[in-house]
Chain A
Amino acid sequence: MDVLLLALGNVLTPMALLTLLLGTLAGMTIGSLPGLSSTMGVALCIPITFNMPPDLALILLGAVYVSSVYGGSVTAILLRTPGTDASIATALDGYPLAAAGRGSEALGMATLASLFGGLFSVVVLIAIAPPLSTVALAFGPQEYTVLAIFGLVTIVSVASDRPLKGVLSAAVGLVLATVGLDTFTGMQRFTFGHSELFDGVPLLPVLIGLFSVSQAFNLCVPAGGGVLSGTAQQLRGRRLPAWLDIRRCLRTMLRSSVIGSVVGILPGAGTSIASFISYSEARRHSSTPERFGKGELEGVAASESANNAVTGGTLIPTLTLGIPGNAVTAVFIGGLTIHGMIPGPSLFTQHAETTYTLILSLLLANLLFALVGLWLCRHLVVVTKVPGAVLGPMILVFSVIGTFALRNEIFDVWLALAFGVVGFFMERWRYPAAPLVIALILGPILEVNFRRSMQIAHWDLTTFFTRPLSLGLCLLVVLALAYPLWAQWRRRRHAPT
């Protein structure tokens, strides 16, 4: 407790608060630009922290991390240009809301949900980090395999009205996911000799292409196009979500925060699995699942509380075991060690003051971005009134430059443009793009873990059902698949038309 008070003292100095504010603003900006990921944001801050005292350095890194994950939701909702894979699920419902003139409300809900998820995971981090970290170790390749399948099952809820087209889109994503040098055999698969493809089809250029570039096409090509659809062309609805709506979403936020925190602890999973599973679970538990994908505040709340809960979750194995929960926290470890703090139990004893300073600053950063976000949302939403042909070129420029900045590779820019055209026609011809991206993210996780399991178990498929944790996950998958079918069947029987 004393340590917490000491840490609180550290966070509440003017210098620390200034660092926190700057970090939060920088993080929000970085997160909202396509191509600038949280990983990049944190990595770019590391050299700045070299000459800072450890407290301030960690405050800066923490603030950039949590607020960049939130920042992604702003452009995902208002412009349907998710900056990273973490906010794809947010765009699914957020953008239809913005198009209907309710962008401010959607942003407000996203902000509150992010705050909820972020705070939840930080509280978990303070309260039960060491025991929870064993979750990271309990997951072996078998469990990751089933988890990836769980993630893929969510495609059902994303593409429910055109299941076959959804499956085709996902299959294309899975095929794309096999491109590259195979880590197991060293064999080149579908690279056609292009060394740019040896590491696989890069995810973010495809994502930016399918969402942002195609959105630039959508906005520019129709005469008089724009975000706000219909003839009224005005902002409707409330500035902030109604208290009733917030209360309605509380259960979803809580469930998503738990999912996000747990998935965050797993080093091999990734933020997007958490937000997709939460989204699909929210839909499964909803009394009006048919409204998901067409502008349902609950969908925004599910995805956003999950992806911000991941931030605290990823820090649990990072700080307690020295095993980074994702790419961002891997960079974090670098930042910690440079300041002489070796991740592991000693962080909570020897360096407890600095560690708790970091954790408290995460709390404050969450509050800060929420305040800034709630204040900004009514102003930001004006963006949706700008004519499409003015927004489109700017989105395209950000996409092109952002894609290039990912790894300074012009090949990726051509790739993003190609997928932009593909995405444009997919939308016109009613093929959903999200399944392709989900499959491209989860395909490699599924494949490497499946093959690892098979190598460990010598091609004995029962290994997935003989381990308790893996069996439990299998049951969840079956439940997630069977429940919507059962519900549909029941509804048909009870309401014959």
Chain B
Amino acid sequence: MKTLHMSVRKVGLGVVSALLATGLSTTTLAADYPSKPIQMIVAFGAGGSTDTMARIFAKYVEEELGQRVVVVNRPGAGGELGWVHLANAAPDGYTIGLINSPVVEVYPFTREESVGYSLDDLRPLANVITDPGMLVVAADSPYQNLDDFVAAVQSDPESIIISHEGVGGDDHLAALNFAAEANVDLNFVAYNGNAEATASLLGGHITAFAGNMSEAVTQIQEGKARGLAIWSEERGEPLPDVPTGREQGYDVLAAASRGFAMPADVPQEIYDLLLEASRNVIDNPEFRAEMERLNMPVDPIYGQDYVDFIDDSHARLKALWEQDPWVEQ
């Protein structure tokens, strides 16, 4: 049944590429672009943080392009389903999508046997948000910094329980990276989302929470939780009191990034046009203000720089994986 659906899709693709081949040059396509609504694929469910960012971005980019931008949620398989749809979409500029780094880079090797897309099928356009990873404890926890925490893990490894949101996600990878730096073994418990994990942390059921800054800001600002470290090069803007891992002698850098990508074969003119539009949106102070209110740190990386960013991260994580896979096959 699935194959039928796929073959219909392939026929559709075939028709488009045939049209492209027979006369209809890409310049004429680009000249009146965009002449119909643009689909924005979000690989996560409606209402999540990725979706919220996408819908706000869509609102601004609509003004830039003078055309409707329709957000389409295609959640499933931790984002993979949405990226498969994005990679297989017609490269005519009418489909763009959000990609979440580092997750989008790791599936091609962690799910090597079953993954439905390759990084070569996607052309990264612009990164918008970089949400650094954090290690957070409850406010009444005895641990004030990473050294305290590591000492506690060394003396009684079983009593320290640390949450993450799924094996192989950025939180898990960051914590593993930290464990390797500190040369300890951490006792992980998986959670499905940050709501349950936060409740468990504040209720004293777990010791620490490995998550992202945007998820922890509220609880830290309210004085209910304390950040032990932030895994970025500089301290986070809303949390000036939380030291970085490097400041404390642990060289860990980890973040979740969200940006836009298009199918790989998109015409260069359309790519440039959308790049320009993205630049204008990201530079728009109103957009910045909305992102700030949502605690989403804006971190623009454009065009080729973004492509390189994804490729570098892919190479680095793949090397890590080949050294010591975090999911046993």
Contact = CB atoms under 8 A, between A and B. Distances in A.
Interface of A: 39-40, 42-44, 46-47, 50, 136-141, 181-188, 193-196, 198-199, 267-268, 317, 321-324, 327, 330-331, 334, 337-338, 340, 342-346, 407-411, 414, 448, 452, 455-456, 458
Nearest to A340: B293
Contact of B81 (A137, A195, A321): A195
Interface of B: 1-2, 5, 45-49, 51-52, 55-56, 59, 72-78, 80-81, 84, 110, 113-116, 158, 161, 166-168, 187-193, 195-196, 198-200, 202-206, 218-219, 221-222, 224, 290, 293-295, 326-328
Nearest to A334: B52
A458 B203 contact: no
A388 B327 CA distance: 52
Given A183-B190, A330-B48, A456-B206, 20 more contacts: A136-B203, A139-B199, A141-B205, A183-B166, A183-B191, A183-B192, A186-B166, A186-B168, A193-B113, A268-B196, A322-B218, A331-B46, A337-B294, A337-B295, A338-B293, A344-B218, A407-B45, A414-B1, A452-B190, A458-B158
Nearest to A449: B196
B47 A47 contact: no
A456 B190 contact: no
B308 to A, nearest CB: 28
B187 A455 contact: yes
B63 to A, nearest CB: 12
Contacts of B168: 186
A331 B47 contact: yes
A288 B20 CA distance: 72
10 closest A-B pairs by beta carbon, nearest first, are A331-B47, A137-B203, A198-B77, A140-B205, A186-B327, A43-B46, A186-B167, A43-B47, A183-B190, A195-B77
A408 B46 contact: no
Contacts of B158: 458
A193 B193 CA distance: 25
A334 B113 CA distance: 36
Contact of A39 (B46, B59, B188): B46
Contact of A323 (B78, B115, B195, B205): B195
A448 B189 CA distance: 9
Contact of A337 (B205, B224, B293): B293
Given A137-B202, A330-B47, A407-B73, A46 B52 contact: yes
B78 A181 contact: yes
Contacts of B192: 183, 448
B203 A138 contact: yes
Given A183-B166, A195-B81, A324-B195, A342 B218 contact: yes
Contacts of A46: 47, 52, 55
A184 B199 CA distance: 19
Contacts of B1: 410-411, 414
Given A186-B167, A317-B199, A195 B49 contact: no
A237 B49 CA distance: 49
A213 to B, nearest CB: 16
A409 B76 contact: yes
A184 B77 CA distance: 15
A141 B77 contact: no
B236 to A, nearest CB: 16
Contacts of A183: 166-167, 190-192
A387 to B, nearest CB: 31
A330 B48 CA distance: 8
Given A46-B47, A183-B192, A448-B192, A407 B75 contact: yes
A183 B169 CA distance: 10
A338 B294 contact: yes
Contacts of A327: 45, 47
Contact of A330 (B77, B195, B205): B195
A494 B201 CA distance: 52
B222 A186 contact: no
Nearest to B4: A410
Contacts of B328: 185, 187
5 contacts: A186-B326, A330-B47, A331-B47, A338-B293, A410-B1
A455 B46 contact: no
Contacts of B47: 39, 42-43, 46, 327, 330-331, 334
B55 A196 contact: no
Nearest to A332: B47
B218 A196 contact: no
A31 to B, nearest CB: 16
B76 A199 contact: yes
A334 B76 contact: no
Given A195-B81, A331-B46, A452-B190, A407 B74 contact: yes
Contact of A456 (B2, B161, B196): B161
A181 B77 contact: yes
Contacts of B51: 43
Given A187-B327, A322-B219, A196 B167 contact: no
Nearest to B46: A43
A267 B195 contact: yes
A195 B84 contact: yes
A331 to B, nearest CB: 3
A137 B199 contact: yes
A322 B294 CA distance: 13
A446 B152 CA distance: 31
Nearest to A418: B1
A204 B200 CA distance: 28
Contacts of B56: 50, 338
Contact of A198 (B59, B73, B78): B78
B202 to A, nearest CB: 5
Contacts of B191: 183, 452
A196 B81 contact: yes
Contacts of B166: 183, 186
A143 to B, nearest CB: 9
A409 B219 contact: no
A408 B86 CA distance: 13
A343 to B, nearest CB: 7
B6 to A, nearest CB: 10
Nearest to B222: A344
Contacts of A323: 195, 198-199, 202
A271 to B, nearest CB: 15
